[in-house]
Structure 1
Amino acid sequence: MSAMSDVSSRMISKPTNTEGERYINALQTASDGGHNRVVQTPLEKGANVNAQGGVYSNALQAASQGGYEKVVHMLLEKGADINAQGGDYGNALQAASQGGHEKVVQTLLEKGADINAQGGDYGNALQAASQGGHEKVVQTLLEKGADVNVEGGVYGNALQAASQRGHEKVVQTLLEKGADVNAEDAHYGNALQAASNRGHEKVVQTLLEKGADVNVEGGVYGNALQAASQRGHEKVVQTLLEKGADVNAQGGFYGNALQAASDRGYKKVVQTLLEKGADVNAQGGHYGNALQAASEGGYEKVVQMLRRHKEVIRG
């Protein structure tokens, strides 16, 4: 078992809430369920349409995330604050965008939703839509003035969100609209590293064709080659090496790509890296070197492979 838990665990994961924690009142509960008539009752009795709390923060956000157009209209007519902040989604527009609800997104924008409002897990509406792979919503947001390079959220930016999820068409759209292919973030470092770690071959190819720096440093894995090696994505590793990735680049949790592949016992990736000149004696990273990483993981065949390579070097 690797000493480092899967980086994807740091991606958005909704908490399991009790009913009381998830919804703060009957209005929010009904809104999340899209129950028009049930929503009408608390409103007629004077319920606070902008009451805050819970996962969705308010009733409008709950209805928007579920794509319930009629409820959204009803809440807005009753004075719901369209730009109210709070909750996991940050605001109603981000909630609707993440759910891919085109008509609700259109309605919110027509009613004055701030298209570049910051907050929530996704940072902004464009990143939320990009993460979900909702092409039409992404197009709409960009046409309405969404900032394609705005930073924030779990993924850092929209391009990284789409790349991490392997949404090829969204990646293409964002790049065509001026997304910075080498924009950096503390988590994956950049879009290429995100796509490489998830093994999205076509996205990796697209990013490289659009000028992604194959050796740019940063993020948890240090570089794209280490990110791909850590997950055992053979074809991506091959592609990156063919495009000039430095097989001995240092940095990140594992120190180098060989240690990353050795820690997970990926024999074919280890073999490829060694054939391309990976330094079996390189020091650094969590385990100190590749041989120690493979040994601690109990991968005997990789240990033998690395030892044979060391002997060849000595000889």
Structure 2
Amino acid sequence: MAVPGDRQEAAAAARVPEPCPKRLFRLVQDGRLRALRDELQRVGGWAAGAGCPGPAGDTLLHCAARHGHRDILAYLAEAWGMDIEASNRDYKRPLHEAASMGHRDCVRYLLGRGAAVDCLKKADWTPLMMACARKNLEVIQDLVEHGANPLLQNKDGWNSFHIASREGDPEILQYLLSVSPAAWKTESKIRRTPLHTAGNTSAPNLITPSAMHGCLEAVKVLLNRCEYEPDCRDKCGVTPFMDAIQCGHVNIARLLLATQKEGHTSTVQTLLSLGADINSKDERNRSALHLACAGQHSACVEFLLQSGLKDSPDVSGTLAQQLTKRTDILQCFDRTVAT
């Protein structure tokens, strides 16, 4: 038989309010430390741990790191003992969140508490890779200084330097090369180099599925500091020059052609090097002219025709000019015939 004291304790336990995860995450997101402290003390420490999952399995620490609230991050870790290595359903840890969003104070706090610098999230992305995708040099430097390895590769075979080449920030590329001189020696699983990546951008009819970013200054860094062959081919036979033409980057295409020409001056093939490079074909026998027409890049079409590239059928018998209906591009072919 229950005694009165037992009944009173049971009643008191029953009056303990249930935590509201949405409210807790909203307080963290809004950076309201005092209100969060009051709420956690009201509902008990259980709500600060694994018993209060958020979207995608996030903890309150993930939320604090994502939104850059270092004071809340420290409060949750120190007052409630939350695990800074907790993973959500994508295996992201708070350090991934802070690095991805460029919150340097949160990154430095987590690293100072011993967070694993090369932890992997889904698809094998490290915090350094995520920082490179955001073009935040200071965060990149902090991670590297705490031992982050720029040579680690994700599931697609990309390392941090490859990702930085996609974003096209010359200063970040120079820094990564200074701390890891061999970082440029990398290819993705489909044999695309950082030079391919830096030289193209999102466009219709891309041969590869990724949306990349053309950046002339980044290409200059890669050609000056690294030892790429300008006509290196990916698994589909595409060169960086063909990528640049396909995506309408005439200045990058000119730079690559000039580099190719200079690179062969000491051989007997010098006289033919420029024409041979321009006439490169992919596995479907498409030339750079096919790619320029498919991308509807009139300036590139005119440049190629003026450089001496002739239209020829691909494996299906399709001429490059058949891939466009734009009058100005068709006029480029007419002018070439007339001359």
TM-score between both structures, scaled by the size of structure 2: 0.69
Task: Look up the equivalent residue of 1:295 and give its one-letter code.
Answer: C
In 2: Cα distance, 1:159 partner to 1:119 partner: 18
Q: How far is the alpha carbon of 1:310 from its aligned partner? A: 5.1
1:177 aligns with 2:160: no
The aligned counterpart of 1:112 is: 81
Residues 43-93 of structure 1: per-residue CA shift (max 9 Å, x gap) = x98653155xxxxxx443332222221232133221314234441472211
Bigger shift: residues 190-199 or 100-109: 190-199
Give the Cα–Cα distance (whole angstroms) in 1 for the partners of residues 72 and 190 of structure 2.
36
The aligned counterpart of 1:214 is 184
Mapped partners of 1:302, 1:131: distance in 2: 36
Q: In structure 2, how many angstroms separate the alpha carbons of the residues matched to 1:201 and 1:306?
A: 28
Q: Secondary structure at the match of 2:55?
A: coil
Note if 1:63 corresponds to 2:27: yes
- Root-mean-square deviation over aligned CA pairs: 3.0
Q: Are 1:82 and 2:26 matched, yes or no?
A: no
Counterpart CA distance in 2 for 1:303 and 1:280 is: 12
Q: Kindly tell me: are residues 253 and 62 of structure 1, through their superposed partners in 2, closer, same or farther at Cα, counting changes over 3 Å? A: farther
Contact 2:123-2:154 within 8 A present in 1 as well: no
Q: 1:254 to 1:133 in 2, by over 3 A?
A: farther
Matches within 5 A, 1:104-253: 104-110=72-78, 111-119=80-88, 123-153=92-122, 156-186=125-155, 189-211=158-180, 212-218=182-188, 222-230=192-200, 231-243=213-225, 244-251=227-234
Larger RCO of the pair (alpha carbons < 8 Å, separation 6+): 1
In 2, Cα distance between equivalents of 1:59 and 1:238: 50
Which residue number corresponds to residue 281 of structure 1? 279
Cα pair 1:148 1:158 within 8 Å, conserved: yes
Q: Which amino acid aligns with 2:104?
A: E
- Gap runs ≥5 in structure 2: 1-13, 201-212, 261-273, 311-339
Deviations 1:259-306 (A, max 9, x none): 221122111001111112283333448994432211111212212323
Q: Which moved more, 1:196-205 or 1:84-93?
A: 84-93
| Distance verdict in 2 for CA 1:275–1:89, change over 3 Å | farther
CA distance in 1, matches of 2:87, 2:284: 35
Identity of aligned residues (%): 25
Task: For 1:160 and 1:287, locate their aligned partners in 2 and report how far apart those are by CA, in whole Å.
Answer: 35
Contact map agreement 2:99 2:130 (CA 8 A) in 1: yes
C-alpha distance in structure 1 between counterparts of 2:307 and 2:90, whole Å:
45
The equivalent residue for 2:3 is none
**Cα distance in 2 between the residues matched to 1:117 and 1:220:** 33
1:137–1:218 distance in 2 versus 1, CA, 3 Å: same
CA-CA distance at 1:166 after TM superposition: 1.1
How many Å apart are 1:96 and its aligned residue?
Answer: 0.4
Equivalent pair of 2:236/2:283 in contact (CA under 8 Å): yes
Partner of 2:59: 91
Q: Is the 8 A contact 2:289 2:309 kept in 1?
A: no
Unmatched segments (≥5 aa) in structure 1: 1-43, 52-57
Query: What letter matches 1:64 in structure 2?
Result: V
> Which has more radius of gyration?
2
Checking the alignment, whether the CA contact within 8 Å between 2:166 and 2:198 is kept in structure 1 is yes
